Amino acid sequence: DTGVSQDPRHKITKRGQNVTFRCDPISEHNRLYWYRQTLGQGPEFLTYFQNEAQLEKSRLLSDRFSAERPKGSFSTLEIQRTEQGDSAMYLCASSLEGRPNQPQHFGDGTRLSIL
């Protein structure tokens, strides 16, 4: 169990640029989640995948955001035309379906700063 890894750990970009983050879940986990966390707040759910299918998207996920999990393994989260309000920590989590109440395992996140 190597844990959930996220890349990059930090990203600084200018407003209006596009950014892409990557998440590698725990290898046998078929569920993958994206959350966003701003300073002083708890994480907020964005979207989740079961294998390669994106099953739910939050209202927070505007049309500038897109997430993929093409082969049911790693996932990417892209933000187009970034805005100041996109500055946050983006967290990825994975879990195993099929056994009751499997916990979510989180990565340490990608911190995005918009200049």
Partner 1 sequence: DAKTTQPNSMESNEEEPVHLPCNHSTISGTDYIHWYRQLPSQGPEYVIHGLTSNVNNRMASLAIAEDRKSSTLILHRATLRDAAVYYCILSYNYGGSQGNLIFGKGTKLSVKP
Rule CB under 8 A: say whether 23 interacts with partner 1: no
Q: Give me 84's structure tokens.
A: 């100041």
Question: By CB under 8 A, how many residues form the interface with partner 1?
Answer: 29
Rule CB under 8 A: say whether 7 interacts with partner 1: no
Query: Look-up: residue for tokens 């569920």?
Result: 31
Using CB under 8 A as the binding rule, the residues of this chain from 53 to 82 that contact partner 1 are 56
Q: How far is the CB of 16 from partner 1 (least distance, A)?
A: 28
Burial of 22: CB neighbours in 10 Å, binned 0-12, 13-18, 19+: middle
User: Could you say which DSSP state residue 106 is in?
Assistant: E
| Contacting residues toward partner 1, per CB under 8 A | 4, 31, 33, 35, 40-45, 48, 56, 91, 93, 95-109
